[in-house]
Each structure stands twice: as structure tokens, then as C-alpha cells.
């Protein structure tokens, strides 16, 4: 229903932000990691997922399309609600998760917040075919699909131009490694820019 928002950050809380779009304020639930890089008064672009239930209406926000896809994959498994999915997207890499599903690595899955052994087993059964069809990673691979492209996309969403961040992204990759997640690269660039 609402796939993304671009607007001015009106307020930043512990687990949500208020984004003003055309005079309307949208309260968007985000992972604290996402909230930590957002600042009041800045323009932001957030990918979103709208959840409507009998007792609640909620909009979840993500800095990258990859995080949004990760969230949507997680909530497609029974036993994983939106709050748990948001916690997982903020604390695990998409590539590591997909690799664990493809290889049947229950021990990795049960270390995820809010995931017990029964839920991990359901994830393996329900998501293995979906993950295989996505073609995101091969068994045995530990590389994360999060990376420089998603970091660039997120920084552009925060209002930085490609010319402002490109050299810093290249330095971040050299320093942090090619397999660094986008949040590591984003934090590096923001520190260098003095944000």
C-alpha cells in the first residue's frame, strides 16, 4: 500500500521516526540502528512496509530496498511477526540468514533474536524454496548482499549526493572489507562527513 516515503524528519524516537510528507506526518517504526543515523530536519527516503491488523496499523521503515525485502521474507514465515522481523533485520545480515536457511543451519537461526528451535525449524521448511528462488547466495557463501550499492542508496536517501560520498565509500570498503554490511559502510561515511 505504501512502498516508500520521502520527506523531512520531524522527530526521531527510540524505535520510530515521524516523517512529514506534503504536510502529513507519518509515524514509521524503525530499528534503533536506522534511527541512530537519522536526524531531525533532514530529508530522508525510507522504503516501507504497511501492516494492518484488527488491533493495529503500523508502517515499518528501512534505509535500503534490501532490508525491506529481508523483512518481507521473514514475515512470510509463520511464527515471525513484524516486530521480531524488524529486530532480526537490524541485527543479522541478509546473506548470512539466507545462507543459514539454504544449508539448514539451525544453530545460526536460533541465535537470532526471538527465534527458538521450533521457529527455526519452521523457517527452514517454509523459506528454503523462497530463498533458493531469490538466488541471493550459494550454499557455503558467507558474503552479504548488503554492501556498497545499498550504502550508496541509503546515503542518497539521507540527502547526500553521489559525488559527496563515492570516494568515502571506496575508502570504507578498503578499510572495512568487501563483505562489510551497508550499515558499517554508512556509519564510516557519516563519521568522515562529520555528521
Task: Give the residue numbers spanning the domain of 188.
Answer: 148-193
Give Cα 17 distance to the centre of its chain.
Answer: 15
Smallest Cα–Cα separation from 33: which of 86, 80, 72, 81?
Answer: 86
CATH of the domain at 19: 2.40.50.140
Number of other residues whose CB lies within 10 A of the CB of residue 103? 16
Q: Are residues 100 and 154 in the same domain?
A: no
Residue numbers of the chain with a pLDDT score lower than 70: 134-149, 177-179, 195
CA distance 1 to 29: 16
Do the domain assignments include residue 143?
Answer: no
C-alpha–C-alpha distance, residues 71 and 87, integer Å: 9
Picking from 134, 160, 181, the residue at the C-terminal end of a domain is: 134
Q: Are strands 24-29 and 43-52 parallel, antiparallel or unpaired?
A: unpaired
* Residue 86: closest CA among 113, 104, 109, 108: 113
Same domain, 129 and 189: no
Distance CA 173, CA 2 (A): 33
> Rounded to the nearest 10 degrees, how much is the dihedral formed by the CA atoms of 185, 32, 79, 120?
40
Amino acid at each position: 500500500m505504501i512502498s516508500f516515503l520521502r520527506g523531512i524528519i520531524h522527530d526521531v524516537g527510540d524505535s520510530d521516526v515521524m516523517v512529514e510528507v506534503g504536510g502529513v506526518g507519518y509515524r514509521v517504526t524503525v530499528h534503533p540502528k536506522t534511527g541512530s543515523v537519522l536526524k531531525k530536519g533532514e530529508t530522508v527516503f525510507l522504503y516501507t512496509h504497511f501492516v494492518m491488523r484488527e488491533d493495529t496499523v503500523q508502517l515499518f521503515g528501512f534505509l535500503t530496498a534490501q532490508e525491506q525485502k529481508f523483512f518481507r521474507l521473514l514475515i512470510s514465515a509463520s511464527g515471525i511477526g513484524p516486530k521480531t522481523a524488524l529486530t532480526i533485520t537490524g541485527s543479522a545480515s541478509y546473506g548470512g540468514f539466507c545462507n543459514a536457511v539454504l544449508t539448514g543451519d539451525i544453530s545460526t537461526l536460533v541465535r537470532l533474536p526471538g527465534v527458538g528451535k521450533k521457529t527455526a525449524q519452521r523457517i527452514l521448511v517454509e523459506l528454503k524454496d523462497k530463498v533458493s528462488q531469490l538466488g541471493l547466495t550459494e550454499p557455503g557463501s558467507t558474503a552479504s548482499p548488503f554492501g556498497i550499492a545499498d550504502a550508496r542508496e541509503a546515503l542518497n536517501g539521507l540527502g547526500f549526493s553521489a559525488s559527496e560520498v563515492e570516494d568515502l565509500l571506496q575508502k570504507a570498503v578498503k578499510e572495512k572489507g568487501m563483505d562489510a554490511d551497508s550499515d558499517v559502510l554508512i556509519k564510516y561515511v557519516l563519521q568522515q562527513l562529520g555528521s
